[in-house]
A and B are shown apart, each in its own frame.
Chain A
Amino acid sequence: MNILVCLKQTFDTEERIVVENGKVKEDGVKFVINPYDEYAVEEAIRLKEQFGGEVTVVSVGPSRAEEALRTALAMGADEAILADDPALFGDEYTVAKVLAAIARQKNYDIIIAGNQAVDDGSGQVAVRLAEELGIPHISTLTKLVVEGNQVTGHRDAEGDEEIVTATLPVLVTAQQGLNDPRYPSLIGIRKASKKPLAHVTLADLGLSEEDIRPRTEIVDTFLPKPKEAGRILQGELQDQVKELVQALIQVEKVVG
């Protein structure tokens, strides 16, 4: 079974975000595998342990993302592909196109990705990739069962559980609870430095800039307003209610 895992290197969730000149500052920041993608890597390695085959991890991102790929290799993935040519960077549309070009280079039975990245949280790339490839997808899985050609995915559905079936090849995305990702072993870390890691460019993938031109534009980046001290309403209950409704309509504009 050949498995492709899409992963993104993101800020450690405990890092403080600093915006400077309309950009998120990266100096001195600790980067990790996007936690949802870590579930994807773990699930892929488990499938490999169960059925055999190979796990390829792929990332579209700057050269620092190599570290995240090496971690996935240390966990047990077999090879890695890093699309670190800046010509391949863009928005979700772009990344899905690039990943599709990479995915077409080999016959993958399952493609696994995180349900979303913890940085921009769009949750679009994996699903777009499935559309690009014309294969079914099941998203935000908490359990995955593969039997022969049959794939069964369990997913949270508003406090209930939805069970969705599909046939290979399929793309699935991982939700928290799918598994408990392993730590890379010391020997895994040593082996990882010897496993293949290929860098691919726009030309390697036979894409043109127009094919992958972003369809969105980032106009501004800013932090949410810092939380201000709350206000405690006082007086008669009736007056308090009136004041609250007024505030919701006029000050916070959450109603109306």
Chain B
Amino acid sequence: MDFNLPEELVRMKETIREFVENEVEPHAMQIEEEDRVPDEILEKSKELGLFGLSIPEEYGGMGLSMLGKCAIFEELGKTINGYTTIIGAHNGIGSVGIVQFGTEEQKQRYLPKMATGEWIGAFALTEPQAGSNAAAIKTTAVKKGDRYILNGQKIYITNAPYAHVFTVMAVTDPSKGPKGITSFIVERDFKGFHVGSIEKKMGLHGSHTAQLYFEDMEVPEENVLGQEGEGYVNALKILANGRAGLAARCLGSCQYLLDRSVRYALERVQFGKPIFEQQIIQHYLAEMALEVETLRWMTYRVAWMTDQGMNVIKEAAMLKLYGSEVYNRVADKAVQIHGGIGYIADYPIERFYRDARITRIYEGTSEIQKNIIAAQLKKEYTR
């Protein structure tokens, strides 16, 4: 059993750590206030190759394993989560559909430009009436000659305001339920495609989320992603693939909060001694450290299992659930240890506290992850 990352990944991780520390984190407050990541930071991120992590090398990407992607995502999690989300959503749910289910022609057309970050990717499943109950989507796709006509609305679409390529799920056969859903690759400049205004969010500032509207939008038939009728299953697979990466981002944020909290506890003097000397603070920190450590090994193990081609439906759901819940608990303790300054917006802790909250909701709520875990357990025990 070897717990070491391969040499190449160690170097990549190190470089991204330095980049995040020196080029992104110093601008975090500005990003938070302006709700916008400066173009310069995005350009530098693209030059580093951060937009092509999961895209195979033959299409201009890095073709990283899940282990590699998680190692990089851990580092990206150590700064403002809005920035992390732009890159995470693009490399995860925004592009893995095309990587996994795309035809050669689709890969040739989309992946090279997505690998450089020229085209940003987004994933569009959720609708006003179809959140956790994703199979209830209403967007329709009607075949007409060599094209499909899409009508409907999508909501909470991360990266929508600047994405060019969307993986969109729509109903092609309403009589078949989930098996009547098909995925499509939609480009921003397709006729009838509209992006709504940017949503104001509790956190994740810098990452933008908006609604999509399709009005008799024409999608050429060669843009069907995967087989007709397999859109729902594909969507679930894309989401499952994203779970380890999301947990890795939570891991990075947790590590950051733990680092800040230990240092603060050692420096902050109350009652004549550093608060670290109070047993209650020691216990808080010990609990945080234990959960971060548990999350780390869970993340890398699920990533490794994924790379071995093993079935990780249960483990990935456990990891996403655990990662997001741990992030929330760690953020809460970090605020408590910091006291007043943990609540002040001039200091980063409260920002992580707000950013943490969404991880229990997006890409499958904590409750849905429990459903998945239970369903897998039932399968295992009733075979």
- A: residues with CB less than 8 A from B are 70-71, 74, 182-187, 189-190, 193
Contact = CB atoms under 8 A, between A and B. Distances in A.
Contacts, number: 35
A70 B47 CA distance: 19
A182 to B, nearest CB: 8
Contacts of A186: 12, 15-16, 48-50, 53, 62, 72
Contacts of B62: 186-187, 190
B378 to A, nearest CB: 41
B286 to A, nearest CB: 24
Nearest to B47: A185
Contacts of B72: 186
B101 interface: no
Contacts of B18: 183
Given A186-B12, A186-B15, A186-B62, 9 more contacts: A71-B11, A182-B47, A183-B15, A183-B19, A183-B23, A185-B49, A186-B50, A186-B53, A189-B15
> How many of chain B's residues touch chain A, expressed as a range?
10 to 19
B382 to A, nearest CB: 45
Interface in B1-45: 7-8, 11-12, 15-16, 18-19, 23, 44
Given A183-B18, A183-B19, A189 B47 contact: no
Interface in B36-84: 44, 47-50, 53, 62, 72
A207 B333 CA distance: 63
B90 to A, nearest CB: 15
B250 to A, nearest CB: 22
A38 to B, nearest CB: 12
A119 to B, nearest CB: 20
Contacts of B12: 186, 189
Nearest to B46: A185
6 contacts: A182-B47, A183-B18, A184-B11, A184-B15, A187-B49, A189-B12
A71 B44 CA distance: 18
B352 to A, nearest CB: 24
Contacts of A190: 8, 62
Contacts of B23: 183
Contact of B48 (A70, A71, A183, A193): A183
A189 B11 contact: yes
> Which of A70, A74, A189 counts the most B-chain CB atoms under 10 A from its CB?
A189
Contacts of A182: 47
A187 B18 CA distance: 16
A185 B19 CA distance: 10
A193 B19 contact: no
A193 B15 contact: no
A193 B7 CA distance: 10
Nearest to A186: B49
A74 B11 contact: yes
B49 A193 contact: no
Contacts of B50: 186
A139 to B, nearest CB: 28
A8 B173 CA distance: 66
Nearest to A184: B15
A45 B11 CA distance: 20
B11 A185 contact: no
B8 A193 contact: yes
Interface string B269-282: 00000000000000
A182 B15 CA distance: 11
A74 B12 CA distance: 10
A165 B48 CA distance: 36
Leading 9 A-B pairs by shortest Cβ distance: A186-B49, A185-B49, A189-B11, A185-B48, A183-B19, A186-B62, A187-B49, A189-B12, A186-B12
